[in-house]
């Protein structure tokens, strides 16, 4: 069995960050659904996978229905807990890595505040502490931002980690043992 697939499910993303890793990745091999079953774990990423949240729910359900027992992780920077599909994805995955990017809007901050509360109240009591990680761009990792997103009230116990993310200007090398693949969730 292969180790880890980092699965780009869409290249679309509304954020247009400077030096996005996807500017450097070149030609990513496209895989069929059956190929995903060959990996020990899957990291669903993009672009912004939650642009297709209902399709991500279907993808996870289909994987499980086909006997997939590996871990499924989600990399995202846009979860809106008011949407059913986002809540469903949050419950189904084994953990998320959520990034709050530089120059967050009021909506971005509100989304993280709601996400923090959702994990505290709906995930943590049910599943215990998972591998949920909150990364905050170091350029906006301030006491004020931590307070706005609610961490001063709730503490961080329900997160595996909350830490500043130093924005990189290199070509984002893949962690060892991971393969980057594209699974066309919009058309697949
Ligand atoms: S949020 Fe991620 S995928 Fe989207 S532009 Fe920024 S770095 Fe790229």
Q: What is the pLDDT of residues 79-132, one digit of tens each?
A: 999 999 999 999 999 999 999 999 999 999 999 999 999 999 999 999 999 999
With CA atoms as reference, report the closest residue to 103 among 63, 152, 156, 142.
142
**What pLDDT digit, counting tens, does each position of 20-45 carry?**
988 888 899 999 999 999 999 999 99
Q: Whose CA is nearest to atom 6 of ligand 1?
A: 17
The pocket around ligand 1, CB under 6 angstroms, is made up of 13, 15-17, 20, 22, 46-48, 77, 101
Strands 161-165 and 133-137: parallel
Domain ranges of the chain: 2-182
In a mutational test of the pocket of ligand 1, which residue from 22, 24, 100, 104 has the highest number of ligand atoms less than 8 Å from its CB? 22
């Amino acid at each position: 069995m292969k180790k880890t697939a980092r699965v780009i499910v869409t290249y679309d993303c509304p954020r247009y960050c400077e030096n996005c890793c996807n500017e450097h990745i070149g030609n990513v091999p496209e895989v069929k659904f059956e190929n995903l079953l060959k990996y020990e774990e899957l990291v669903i990423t993009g672009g912004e996978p939650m642009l297709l949240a209902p399709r991500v729910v279907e993808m996870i359900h289909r994987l499980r229905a086909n006997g997939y027992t590996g871990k499924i992780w989600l990399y995202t920077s846009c979860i809106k807990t008011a949407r059913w599909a986002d809540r469903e994805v949050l419950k189904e995955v084994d953990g998320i890595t959520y990034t709050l990017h530089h120059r967050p809007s009021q909506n971005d901050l509100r989304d993280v505040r709601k996400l923090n509360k959702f994990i505290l109240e709906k995930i943590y009591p049910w599943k215990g502490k998972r591998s949920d990680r909150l990364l905050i761009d170091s350029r906006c990792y301030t006491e004020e931002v931590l307070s706005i997103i609610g961490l001063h009230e709730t503490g961080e116990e329900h997160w595996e980690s909350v830490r500043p993310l130093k924005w990189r200007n290199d070509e984002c090398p893949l962690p060892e043992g991971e393969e980057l693949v594209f699974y066309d969730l919009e058309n697949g």
